Amino acid sequence: MTIPTPLPPLPLLDRRKKRATAPRSRGQSLVEFALILPIMLVLVGGALDLGRVYAAGIETVDGARVAGLYLISNPPPPTDSQSTVESNLENIVNSSSYTGGASGPQCASLTVTLGAATSLPGGVTEQPMTVVCSVPLITTLLPIPSTINLSTSTTVAVPPS
């Protein structure tokens, strides 16, 4: 059994020729990165927007809860107009540390709207309310609106004042 002898090394000139004709992968990688970067940025921005919209949905439900609890514990006097009560509820919800308020990271604006109240026996009033949270999106390149409005509705039994 004979052991094959290794091939002699290439002469210096032949090595240089091979290196000069080899493809340049650095430029190719840069072009591929430049092509994929915008797609990756849109995907990351979309994921961030999805998380912000989800958090804003939680903030909207919490805002309705805070407004309802405030309305139950502090019934408005009959002399207050509906717009005054709505304005007071918006101030309470926006300044609440529980919801993060409108200055929080999710909702650009949080509004409370009261519906028509229904009187129940015993002087209790059933008060429907709607809380709307406007969330501005980061990714405006996609064919979707630049702001998403999330809303939740609830009905509160308000005791007589």
Question: Rounded distance, CA 151 to CA 135, Å?
Answer: 11
Kind and range of the H or E run holding 130: strand 125-136
Look up residue 5 and give its two tokens: 């002898």
pLDDT 10s digits, 116-133: 888 888 888 888 989 888
pTM exceeds 0.95: no
Q: pLDDT tens digits for 58-98?
A: 888 888 888 888 888 888 887 888 888 888 888 887 776 55
Residue 70 gets the label, from left (phi > 0), alpha (psi -120 to 50) or beta, of: alpha
Nearest to 63 by CA among 34, 26, 91, 37: 91
Total Cβ atoms within 10 A of residue 112: 25
- pLDDT band at 36; cut points 50, 70, 90: very high
Q: Quick count: other Cβ atoms within 10 Å of Cβ 152?
A: 16
At 154, phi and psi to the nearest 5?
-150, 160
Instruction: State the pLDDT at residue 102.
Output: 46
Residues with Cβ within 8 Å of 144's Cβ and at least 6 positions away in sequence, in order, are 137
